[in-house]
Structure 1
Amino acid sequence: MEGTRLNKVGRLLQKELGDIFQKQAQGLSGVLISVSQVRVSPDLSVAKVYLSIFPSEKGTELLEAIRSQTKAIRFDLGQRVRHQLRKIPELTFFIDDSLDYIENIDKLLQK
């Protein structure tokens, strides 16, 4: 029961954060930011957000910019989900490098 609720909250946060990043990335040309996964703690106080950033060369600098704007992003998220959630979780952002890992494996297998 508890796992289902956490999954639903994670999917809601993933959808809304994806919309927020899509609107913010419109000002940046040639950059695509997508939310690949959101993991929520059992007490709904912390959400780990995994971002997939394309091109990956700009990943670290964009991640730092996003981390500096965490409070503003959390506020925007709170405005969007205030009717669904009572407490907005603290957000921590990480780079999801699984696509780079898969690409590296493919290159190794093609040799």
Structure 2
Amino acid sequence: MAKNRQSGAEGPSQRQLRVGELIRRTLSDVLMRGDVHDPELSGRSITVGEVRVSPDLKVATAYVLPLGGHGQDDLIGALARNKSELRRQIAKKLTLKFAPDLRFRVDETFDRMDETRRIFEQDNVRRDLDD
């Protein structure tokens, strides 16, 4: 029998989650150690918040954010220019059948959390929550 798919929207499989987390940790390590020799990446603190992997495990989208949030577009460009080297580094450290194609996006999670906090601090919302 198939999994419960009544909602129509299916989340990632356990395998996708596991592979995504392995890639996230490995990518974080590679960036932290400066294994990629690019002046725009070296010496920068980069947070890899999440890596989402496609169902066929061929594409991995990394959600990243530079420390302080400044220079996001430059960071995405530098990572995209170095994606072949990053992919090679990840393949070398992980035991996957093949290394997925890497894509990079700005992690907007922190912005959404700030907006949620701001909403919860509004008097009318706080009043509704206290009731």
TM-score (norm 1): 0.82
CA radius of gyration, larger in? 2
Q: Greater helix share, 1 or 2?
A: 1
Give the number of equivalent residue pairs: 107
Higher relative contact order (CA 8 A, sep 6+): 1
Normalized per residue, the structure richer in strand is 1
Give a deviation string over 1:10-62, Cα, whole Å, max 9, x none: 1111110110111129842xx42111111111111111111122121221111
Over the matched positions of the two proteins, sequence identity in percent amounts to: 25
Runs of 4+ in 1 over 4 A off after TM superposition: 107-111
Q: Secondary structure at the match of 1:87?
A: coil
Name the counterpart of 1:58. Answer: 71
CA RMSD of superposed structures (Å) = 2.3
TM-score (norm 2): 0.71
Question: Residues 18-97 of structure 1: matches in 2 within 5 Å?
Answer: 18-24=28-34, 27-28=42-43, 31-81=44-94, 84-97=95-108
Residue ranges of structure 1 left out of the alignment (5+ in a row):
none
Asked if structure 1 preserves the Cα contact closer than 8 Å seen for 2:41 and 2:75, the reply is no
